[in-house]
Structure 1
């Protein structure tokens, strides 16, 4: 984020759904989330489906 001052990356990440492996991460304590070696972390921005 420091590479792009004034960018909105942090704002976008705040509204994303986050999955670790195939498990959704709740809005609880981020320190309780465990990412094991080899697991995938996905950030899904809000989108409209149809």
Structure 2
């Protein structure tokens, strides 16, 4: 299960994994996934959701 991250207006802006290493944000048809590596660096991936 993931933790919902909300902004100051109480709107959901993304999800944080339970271990705190992965943040996922969806806007429109794009998903951004940010993962923390053990060495302190970040991996950032962008994925496009195909139109249905």
TM-score, structure 1 as length reference: 0.27
Relative contact order (C-alpha < 8 Å, sep 6+): which is higher?
1
- Greater fraction helix: 1
- Greater fraction strand: 2
TM-score, structure 2 as length reference: 0.27
